[in-house]
Every structure is written in structure tokens, then in C-alpha cells.
Chains A and B, each alone.
Chain A
């Protein structure tokens, strides 16, 4: 294995999609990179004092402020005349991006800082025990959206974060998936070649929260893409570039692979509703090959 900038030996769970994606991101970015990291799984499993897995300068401040901290780093580098030689990445989980961190993220995008923001989307607050976030998908069973006689799980759809980011008029937005490592690295390199604010959102399965076997992480990630439930696309200067799906699979294949959707399998109506979300994505982002 080539030299990596996120060393093994950290305390992530077996099969953690975020650990895989975070390593791919920093290795694509290279050593001339400074990272500002929100509070969350990635921060906790990689920097427990006195150990750190990071071989690049890395800072964690709070749950919601990595975008503002990264803005300060970028401004400091500009003042020092070093910005052109150094990449700045702000990274967070889905809660730190779409919920508590959204204001600071919006401010950073609007101000035009030369920073790549990476959201590792495992679709709930996994670090605190699988609570619902704004990026939890419809019907998902989390500890704060448990299915019951009056509920089929999370009642609301995912917040459209890539479109919200794109609405700031930034030059580059991309989604990616832990199931497609080369695509992640290609997009990180492309993003860092562009000046200004960039937003990437990477779908990262969480075996613990999604309740699948730890050796199934990449399979589950691929199924989310192949069903259309996790659309993969880029906005380059606002222009949509979809990653086409060669053979679109029914959503049931993705749902049945995970315990968090187990309650749907006896509920054909609910499955239909999830299929409608996939169909909507396929049409909206032009995913059909």
C-alpha cells in the first residue's frame, strides 16, 4: 500500500465508510494540505490524545465551526502569502454540515474562501448513537425516529445540501460514494485545482448505524448509487454533470441489505414511496444511461 496521510491504528469501527473516504480524500489532496475538522466520529476516532492518525496539519475546534475556522486559516495563509501553495479542507459529518454547521458553511461559501468543504454523509448522528440528522433519508430507523404504530421511521426527505451549496453560485459541487474510490480522488483533485469555495458530499456507510455486516460497506454504498437513491453528479460552474447508472436496480435491493430499513420490508406502500424518491433523483439529475 502506498504511503497514506491518515495512518491506520485509529479507533474507527470495522468497515467504517467514513474512515475509507477520509483517507482517500487526504491522499488525493496530498501533504500540502491543512484540515479543519468538525466534532464527530472522524475527529474522535483519529485524534485521541496523545495519538493522532493525521500526517498533515489538522485542527478540531467545535461541532459547527470548521467552515469558519477554515476561513480563518485561509485568511491567515493569504496574509502570509502562502495560500497558493497550500490546500485548505474543512470536513464534517452530515449533522455538522447540514444541521448545526450550515450557517458557518453558508458564510464560508458566500464569502468565497478558497476552501474545499467535504461532508462525510453517513445519514445520522452516529457518534452519539444514531440520532436523526437533516441528511437522514426518509423512513430510516434512527434512535430518534424509531418506527412504531404511528410512524414508519424518519418522516422527512434528505435536505438537498448539494443544491443548497450550488445555490451560493460556487464553482464546484460534487457528490461521491465510498463505493467508488477512484471517483472520490478524481473529484478531490479537480476541486482543489479550482480557486474558490468547493463542496463535496460523500456517501459513507456506517455498519453500526445502518446495521449491515462490516464487510458489506462498499456493496451497500454501490447499491445506494445503482438504485438512484444516492445520485452522483457534479455541478461545474452550475452545469450538471451526472454519473450515469448502467443498470438501474430496484430500491428494495438497497433497503433489504440494511437493518435500518428492515421495518419497510413488510410494507409495500412504504417501499413504493422510497422508489418514488429514487425515480425523482434519476429524472432530476439525468442518471439514466
Chain B
């Protein structure tokens, strides 16, 4: 992972000092709430339904065991509301009612404290830290080279890459050095701190798009030209929200040296012409959609002027690439040799694991190939009954740190799907890792399956949400606890958002669930056929709505009806395994699924 330089370290400390100065001026009444708000947002501090929320940046998801322990400390010591606030919040959330589960116990809100939450943009969020302690938390983060810079606000947000960057077998080139060069360029950029709206950039270096590039304000795919030169295919103007749009390719090949210059041109034109009169039309996707070729022409002209008039001062030099690339240090991995008692113990652990039928499933779902044939990439599942998707308690964060220390050169990565991966695991260590992770409850072999769903914090925490996400997620998780059934349903992406802001990426789910508000009650729209851009899902595409929204109680039943339809219609695939859900949906079309979903409505059945 990236090693901080001395400059990086003092910069993050200066940022923490600056934040404390701002917080103190706000507390002294020198800054109004309205003046302080954009400043705290640019450091990741929101104020949510009941308490502030902090979003900590984890660039490219890469995190050390030291940092995981610092996050655990923050969870334990700071993510703690006072008793009265928690009781009031719990009381209000319970009043929203329970989600019944057919054949199971109804699910209501159970607010937790003392934990971190992994987000789809590989950040970590906390929900209960009092604002008056916020500057102390920023100091603590700075002490382990972390911060919340531009994790919110109308800024260039924390930049993401696909989770296997630098270790994927199918990689064109490692996207992280370029992402880091972009991150440094965008950090406290003086011209682009108050854009019309938030701005998200993602990079993908593999052949498969695992970074959802089509859904980003700017999506950058590393490619090689026919001459073998490295560059980017540039997409601009993708985004979810109320109007889901897939980004437009504006450059088929941009030499890597021009990356900063071209992105500067794209964002400058947006800063000048993006709409500021309507929050819902302020994203760059609306500008690109409205202006089409005129936007592209304007960007190309601005790019030309930066090069010809300004002299392209941000042209990336080979020396700068080399400098940043060298900051991504691959850990030295000595070959594993075991002797004597150690070897005998290892044999016992291996024999134990291999006798466990779950172990085979875990190897199948949670273990992936690594660029280094001696190594494996292992996913720790943070999708399990009784805890919200992507939530990790202080204790679990510490356990993850221990697993990283023991098995993965003290490094882990947060994934877009809200899990943790261990990127440097020796193939020989798999049985021992499995045994330890299973004891910690992090070895559920459900990666890529139905219960490995994405969900935003929703109406239990977020003030933007129209409806709760977490009880819906918990109800569906409870209904699909039988691993035989989950394995039979196979690869599927279920994504849940509590509002149209789409933090739960419902548009990109094979099945998407979106919370909507009607007459102050919680309702849910179901979409089918969305895609993030992976090989499994196909090119990025928003799902289609199956019909009028459903009540919370109907949602688990509707999901089951849709899955039953799949089970009836699927065909054996060429590899001997069944056709996937998304492949069946693409082959037969929406209609039978739509009919099944709408047929599961309670009201319809009563009136029929």
C-alpha cells in the first residue's frame, strides 16, 4: 500500500489543525452554522438524523493493521452517544415498525454503537461521534496517516480503484500510482473546492471493469494503444441519483502523461457551466447529457489552451510516476517453511479444515487468484445475520487487524461490496486463516451471493433517507440463511438504497431496492437488471422498475417471488453450472419477473 512521505504526514496534521481552528471559531460563535457546514463537510463531518456522521477516507481501500486498530479505538472511545440520545433515537426508530419475515422473526431497528461501517466507496463511517470531539478524532486519524479530506462536500471526492489493484492476474497496469497522483492533485485544489455538486473519480487497471467506471463523474480505464503505450479511456458524466446516466466516452486514448491536464479541463468546464440553480440537476452528468458534443468540444479546447498557453504545468513526468509508484511498496513475502511441531500442527489444521464442508465453499467463494501464483486474495465477509452489511465493531476491527498481521503482511483492503480483503495470503496458510476467521465470525462463504448485499445506512441514520435500508437487509438475510439455497441461487447482486441519492447503488444491482416516501410511510421500489460493469453483470446499465412501490412487509416476499421465477426459468449453462440470475433475466426479459413481483403484492391478492 501507499507509504506516506514526510510531506504527506505534515500536510494531514496541518489539515487537522485547520479543522480544530474552524471548530473552535464555530463554537465561539465566530462562524455561523451555515458557514461552518461546508467546512466540516470537506473534512467528512455530516450532521445526520440523530448525531454527526464522520466519513474517513481510505484511498483505494488500502488499510494497514495499525490503521484498523486506530479505527477500532475511535469506534470504542468516540462512537458513543449519551444514553438519552440513544434511547430517544431507538424509540423513534421502533415507531417506524417492523419488517415481517415469512417463517421468521419480524425485524425492527436495533441501533448499535461503537462500530465503523465500510462504504461502497471504500471509506469508513461512524454514526455517533459528538461534534465537540471531532477535532480530537481528526488528530487521532492524522497520527496514523488518515483524514476525512474531501469525503464530502461539492469537491473532488476520495478517488477509488478496483479492489484488486496491483494484485489482479488480469491487470493492464496498476491504477494506484495514477490514482494517487490524481488524489494529490485534487487535495485542497483551490479552484475546485466549491463545484456545483460532488465529483467522483474512479480508475480501473484490469481488463474486467471492477470499479463501476460507467457510473462515475469521471471513469478512467487503463488501456494500451496499438503501439503499446499506456493511457486511459476516459468517460465523463456517469452517475446514479434521480437520473441514472452511464458516462460518455470522451477520449478513447489519453496518454497517461496528460491525465491531470485533461481532468483539469473536464472539471473546469463543469465548474463554469454546471447548473447551480437546482440541486438535482447540478451533477456533471446533466451538463454532459444536455450539451453532448458541445461539452466535449469545450473540454478539448480548454485542454488545448492549458497545453499551448499555460504550458501544461501538470504534465506527469516519468520521474513523478516513478516516485509515486515506489511509494506503493509490495511487502516482502518469504516462502513459508514449516518444521517440527509447527509442521505437525499445520497438518492438523489443514486436515480439520478439509474435513469441514464449509471450507470447500469458502475456498470457492472467498478465495481468489493473485498475480503471484503462491498467494491468494481472501475476502473476510462482513455480511452476516444480526449486523448491518459492512458494519464492524471495535472488536471485529481489531480481529481484522490481527488477521492482517498474521496472514497478510499487516495489510487489508476495504471493498466496494463492503467487505475486507486480505491481499497477501500464502496459499499454504488458507486452512489456518479459515480456522481463525471462522472463529471470529468473518468466514461466511457468501461472497458474491445473495446475502453479500450492498446496503446504505438508510433511514436509521441518514437524514436524506426516505426509508430504512437496514431492517430490509436484515429481513432478506434472515430469510436466506440456508447456504445450500444461497449456493443454488448463485452469483447475484442485490443492492439497497434508502433514498434516490443511491449510496447503496440500487441502480447497478441485478435486483435493486430503493426506499421512497409516500404520505410519510416507508415504501420500496424494486428494479431489475442493473449492472455495474463487471463480467458477471455486463456493461453498466440502470435496472428497470418493476412497478409501483411495495410496502416494507412485501419486499422480502417480492424478492422471493423474483428468485423463484429465476429458479423456474434458468437453463444449464455451458460450464455445467446453472445460468446466473442476470443471464436468465437478460435472456427471457423482464416480463415474467415483473409479473411475479407484482403478483406478490398483498393488496392485489386480497382484492383479486
Tell me if chain B binds chain A: no
